[in-house]
Chains A and B, each alone.
Chain A
């Protein structure tokens, strides 16, 4: 019996491993390049309104960013402490919050070019550095995209700008809000911000 179980375990590992899609550094680079090209094409489209651009960029990010992972990560230990109802409300509020924030920034695109550098693996995370060249100011900014395998596809987990991680920053921000108030307050604040961003456009 014991032997059977061990065999079964091994068989499951093998099946899992063979069916699992493995991410690699070069694949990640191609992925980032493709997403960036898509986003820039939308941002550059002079025929589209800002609202339309924003919607299209939100759709790309919704597909390419592992929002459920990010949402849980930034809530940290408070995710486990939250009730199922709170978790549900939080996820529902977080998704439009993060999408609107990202898309809002990206519609401000103004002719920057990029080079992708140094794709490499850090354990099971693929890291691709985007060196953004701003022709207006002549400044170079390094942005690291951290990608993971999300259900058989490349998914963006974190964006690190000059050493500053969006995940880490947001986790601190949310922890600070929950320490001062509670999870319900955070959820309400997210909802409020979403409607403010929506009406601002």
Chain B
């Protein structure tokens, strides 16, 4: 079943990449702006009335120490995909760091509850398929706001789909709804972490859509260049 999916998906991914890898784009280049602004407004509505209240509720009912450990478990489940992505980037050393972080934190760290690997000197750094594509010289393509998932671009959107299939966790779990549940849980952890920064942008920006677009583009560039490598616990 899974091999059929891969056989079917890979050509789609490849042709989608060929489509997006057309031109370079600067910060305000946004050929899909009309669509994107509509999607941004939709997402903001869903966020205001559903996702943000859930993230607030999660913050309200849990002490920081609990959220730290839940966050560690969530981060730990990113490690296998980071490892695969790092290998695809040809960064064997980083891939091995992700491998050992996952191995140590899953065992000694009790299923990822404790991030003992960082204490042991293995610094956290997340990689993803979008970054691997970038390392192959694939251009970002047009800026794209995805439903619910938010800011992205052609390359990173394809990377997200490919990441689903390249993620060892998907196969270890081997149940679509469980995988979706894990992804939703990780999303909630991330949304709680970003409560204050996102509120800040909304309260200080005169055009939040343009601000988030610029922030996403800059942040991805920094991640791709592995700026401040090892210090990066926040994903965006």
Residues of A within 8 A of B (CB): 101, 104-105, 129, 131, 136-142, 162-165, 168-177, 179, 186, 189-190, 193
Judging by beta carbons under 8 Å apart, are B231 and A175 in contact? no
What are the nearest 9 A-B pairs in CB distance? A163-B222, A176-B210, A172-B214, A169-B214, A142-B228, A173-B210, A164-B218, A101-B204, A189-B206
Task: Using CB atoms, name the residue of chain A closest to B26.
Answer: A172
Chain B neighbourhood of A189, CB < 8 A: 206
Of B68, B210, B211, B223, most buried by chain A (CB within 10 Å of CB) is B210
Chain A neighbourhood of B193, CB < 8 A: 137, 139
CB within 8 A of A163: which of B204, B210, B228, B233? B228
Chain B neighbourhood of A140, CB < 8 A: 231, 233
Residues of B within 8 A of A (CB): 27-28, 64, 67-68, 193, 200, 204-207, 209-211, 213-215, 218-219, 221-223, 227-228, 231-234
Chain A neighbourhood of B213, CB < 8 A: 172
A104 vs B204: C-alpha distance when bound (angstroms): 10
CB distance from A107 to the nearest CB of B (A): 13
CB distance from B66 to the nearest CB of A (A): 12
- Residue pairs across A and B with Cβ atoms less than 8 A apart, 7 shown, are A101-B204, A104-B204, A129-B228, A139-B233, A169-B214, A172-B214, A173-B206
Chain B neighbourhood of A179, CB < 8 A: 28
CB within 8 A of A177: which of B204, B207, B215, B234? B207
Q: Is the interface of A mostly helix, strand, loop or mixed?
A: helix
Chain A neighbourhood of B64, CB < 8 A: 136-137
CB distance from A116 to the nearest CB of B (A): 14
Judging by beta carbons under 8 Å apart, are B234 and A176 in contact? no
A101 vs B232: C-alpha distance when bound (angstroms): 25
Chain B neighbourhood of A186, CB < 8 A: 206
Judging by beta carbons under 8 Å apart, are A177 and B232 in contact? no
Chain B neighbourhood of A175, CB < 8 A: 28, 210
Chain A neighbourhood of B231, CB < 8 A: 131, 140, 142
CB distance from A161 to the nearest CB of B (A): 9
A174 vs B206: C-alpha distance when bound (angstroms): 8
Chain B neighbourhood of A163, CB < 8 A: 218-219, 221-223, 227-228
Chain A neighbourhood of B204, CB < 8 A: 101, 104-105, 193
CB distance from B14 to the nearest CB of A (A): 30
CB distance from B119 to the nearest CB of A (A): 11
A104 vs B64: C-alpha distance when bound (angstroms): 24
